[in-house]
Chain A
């Protein structure tokens, strides 16, 4: 279900506005790369095997902290476009509760950004694996 955009975090609203205005694949790809550059960096120690998300063709690391029931994730990847996909996913999931993470319709989110193809099962991007890792983390804490 599509949520009223005004209820979204500011970064997610910005993503919707920017990707909504993108005219084609090239603009979307450039936007993804610039979003990827704005990811909060991970330390070398955080780029550990433990934080590696399995199921991605390119390496993706994800760390998450539970702040009073609201999750805050950071992540990175060695591939630039993947960092961008991660950035727009993180923008959407920021400060969600574990329950909200479970019910989040991530396919709908990427569809709204015109990035549906990045989420199809055969895609190697691994966004599904990243989301699964987020949900698992949320579940572990309960």
Chain B
């Protein structure tokens, strides 16, 4: 029942299983398909080279594969031009790029608006930008389900708003955020919009132009790809407003000792040697994901998630954080410290996450010192959840 037809495409799952481990931490980092392993080993075996520089054949081959990923990612996100995608080292770096690249647009007294549930990666760059520029950081409150409260957002997004940065899918609550309502509120005030897609990108295909944001960031390692790779999408007009932020090779057009001119996006924002193998690997992952039946994946993930939420709901004294809709669920249990639960789940070979999930302000606002998060990948089976629930019951019994 509920068995993933794609599980065997991910060799680590069998290895972990043989060690008696169940992996339920995909929202932190996902396991990798064989297709990625083959691509990485193929690239290194057939000759590594730097991209966009040398004329030799090896470099040409690397550059073609590297730029091929940009095109595949553009197609995946329905972005009209691959040059609207900048490769970064991850979503965190993409958000930092934005906070520095857009700094010149933020004036004292301006407001930068984020939601109360943001991951530190989509909070701290804006907090620090506000501090640098004498701007104000405005926090959008949540409703009880764990989505941005729209009536409050309508009040808080104003003519002072320069920029709105929100998550698409919460990494703690598993709730989709009401972007279709939120983004137009900011746009109507002439503010820029940034969507943190680190979790959202993994679940379903998203049409970025239709979403209507100015910028969207993602990480490869949650999307079954290698670490150290991420991307920043920008609308053309929005990208044109970015100032260069990291300087060095590749991003420069002409340089003398005293001055330099820089390239436009994307290469102007990819200073230094990029993670070439990783980017090529991400391309292979996208190729692999394209071979899967999108509807079947969505149905499998939804069935797993429903089983997770229903099972958690049956445990006495257990409280879900928000009303999770996809990918993950976080919970706390009355009278039980999350650290103790995590300890006993680990002892039983269940890999979940415990703590504040890089969202300390959110935890504080929920009145929790921490929570346990269970997160799913397309390779998880219903049986993984059965093991988890058995381990959870045993742990709770020991802690009673």
Q: List the interface of chain A (C-beta within 8 A of B).
A: 25-26, 29-30, 33, 57-59, 77-82, 117, 124-125
- Residue contact A29 to B347, C-beta cutoff 8 Å: yes
Interface size on B, residues (CB 8 A): 16
Q: Decide if B104 is an interface residue (CB 8 Å cutoff).
A: no
Given contacts A57-B370, A58-B370, A59-B369, contact A81 B339 (CB under 8 A): yes
- Asked if B264 CB lies within 8 Å of chain A CBs, one says no
CB–CB B355/A81 < 8 A: no
> Are A25 and B347 interface neighbours, CB within 8 A?
yes
* Contacting pair B398 A26 (CB below 8 A): yes
The residues of B that contact A117 with a CB separation of less than 8 Å are 346
Shortest C-beta distance, B24 to chain A (Å), equals 17
A84 to chain B, nearest CB (A): 10
Q: Mark B354-380, 1 if CB is under 8 A from A, else 0.
A: 110000000000000110000000000
Q: B2 interface residue, CB < 8 Å from A?
A: no
Within 8 Å by CB of B337, from A25, A80, A124, A125, lies A80
- Nearest A residue to B337, CB-CB: A79
Q: Mark B311-343, 1 if CB is under 8 A from A, else 0.
A: 000000000000000000000000001111011
User: Which residues of A have CB within 8 Å of B346?
Assistant: 117
Cβ contact within 8 Å between B340 and A80: yes
Choice from B337, B347, B398 contacting A78 with Cβ under 8 Å: B337
- B120 to chain A minimum Cβ distance, whole angstroms, is 15
Mind listing 18 A-B residue pairs with CB under 8 Å?
A: A25-B348, A26-B398, A29-B343, A30-B398, A33-B398, A57-B339, A57-B342, A57-B370, A58-B337, A58-B369, A77-B339, A80-B337, A81-B340, A81-B343, A82-B343, A124-B339, A124-B342, A125-B343
Q: A26-B398, A124-B355 are contacts. A79–B348 as well, Cβ < 8 Å? A: no
* Interface membership of B399, Cβ < 8 A: yes
Given contacts A57-B355, A125-B339, 16 further A-B contacts (CB under 8 A): A29-B343, A29-B347, A57-B370, A58-B337, A58-B369, A79-B339, A80-B337, A80-B340, A81-B340, A81-B344, A82-B339, A117-B346, A124-B339, A124-B354, A124-B355, A125-B343
B342: chain A residues at CB < 8 Å are 57, 124
Q: Tell me whether chain B's interface is mostly helix, strand or loop, or mixed.
A: helix
Q: Whole-angstrom distance from the CB of A8 to the nearest CB of chain B?
A: 26
Q: Closest B-chain residue to A26, C-beta based?
A: B398
CB-CB nearest 4 A-B residue pairs = A79-B339, A58-B339, A79-B337, A25-B347
Whether the pair B340, A79 counts as a contact (CB closer than 8 A) is: yes
Bound-complex Cα distance A57 to B360 (A): 12
The residue in A25, A33, A81 that gathers the most chain B C-beta atoms within 10 A of its C-beta is: A81
A25, closest chain B residue (CB): B347
Nearest-CB residue, chain B, relative to A60: B339
Bound Cα distance from A4 to B354, whole angstroms: 38
B residues in contact with A81, CB < 8 Å: 339-340, 343-344
- Which residue from chain A places its CB closest to the CB of B342 in the assembled complex? A124
The distance in angstroms between the C-alpha atoms of A59 and B348, with both chains bound, is 24
Q: Which single residue of chain A is at the shortest CB-CB distance from B394?
A: A26
Residue of A30, A33, A58 with most partner-chain B CB within 10 A:
A58
Q: Give every chain B residue within 8 A of A59 (Cβ-Cβ).
A: 369
Complex: A40 Cα to B293 Cα, angstroms: 59
Q: Smallest CB–CB gap between B390 and chain A, Å? A: 13
A124's nearest neighbour on chain B, judged by CB, is B355
**Chain B 378-396 against A: per-residue CB contact (8 Å), 1 yes, 0 no?**
0000000000000000000
In chain B, what residue has the closest Cβ to A24? B347
Q: How far is the CB of A122 from chain B (nearest CB, A)?
A: 11
Contacts of A125 in B (CB 8 A): 339, 343
- B370 cross-chain contacts in A, Cβ below 8 A: 57-58
For the complex, what is the distance from the CA of A30 to the CA of B346, rounded to whole Å? 15
- Considering the complex, which residues of chain B in the window 189-211 have a beta carbon less than 8 Å from any beta carbon of chain A? none
Residue of A79, A82, A125 most packed against chain B (CB within 10 A): A79
Chain A min CB distance to B99 (Å): 26
CB distance from B372 to the nearest CB of A (A): 12
Which A residues are CB-close (under 8 A) to B340?
79-82
Q: How far is the CA of A58 from the CA of B340 in the complex (A)?
A: 9
Q: Which residue from B339, B369, B398 sits with its C-beta under 8 Å from A29?
A: B398
Q: Which residue of B lies closest to A118 (CB)?
A: B343
**CB-defined contacts of B338 to chain A, threshold 8 Å:** 58, 79
Smallest Cβ distance from A55 to chain B, in angstroms? 13
Shortest beta-carbon distance from A26 to chain B in Å: 7
Give CA–CA (A30, B347) in the complex, Å. 12
> Within 8 Å CB of B398, what residues of A?
26, 29-30, 33
